Amino acid sequence: QVQLVESGGGLVQAGGSLRLSCAASGRTFSGYAMGWLRQAPGKEREFVAAIWSSGASLRYADSVKGRFTISRDNAKNTVYLQMNSLKPEDTAVYYCAGYSAGYYKTGEIPTNWGQGTQVTVSS
């Protein structure tokens, strides 16, 4: 049973920063691509970022490029999302996600999800 547990969400002013963490257990973490998705009130869940199992390749949504950075520490079974220059439109529940292989395919639906962590950006 794969478990993904997010932490690090909260309330921040526009222009501020937050760092989300996701601790994984239940399978060989280093063998799978990981990602972050988010869902704002009244909107569909959307892709934010993904990282290959080795960490060698990254993908970002256009809306967060240059502001967010995804990374992972395979020794700690943890994936991170550093969010800088936050905007009110970044307000959402952020979900950690695990994929089915060591690489991410565009549009791929994750096989595993965390419970989500709320990020609220005030203007």
pLDDT in tens, 20-72: 999 999 888 989 999 999 999 999 999 999 999 999 999 999 999 999 999 99
The confidence band for 75, taking pLDDT boundaries of 50, 70 and 90, is very high
CA proximity to 4, closest of 120, 110, 118: 110
Amino acid identity of residue 36, one-letter, is: W
Query: Which pLDDT does position 26 carry in this prediction?
Result: 85
Give me the residue label for tokens 């550093």.
82
Give me the residue label for tokens 């220059």.
85
Cα 41 versus chain centre, distance: 18
pLDDT digits (tens, 9 = 90+) for 8-28: 999 999 999 999 999 999 888
Cα 93 versus chain centre, distance: 10
Instruction: Please state, in angstroms and rounded to a whole number, the distance separating the CA atoms of residues 121 and 123.
Output: 7
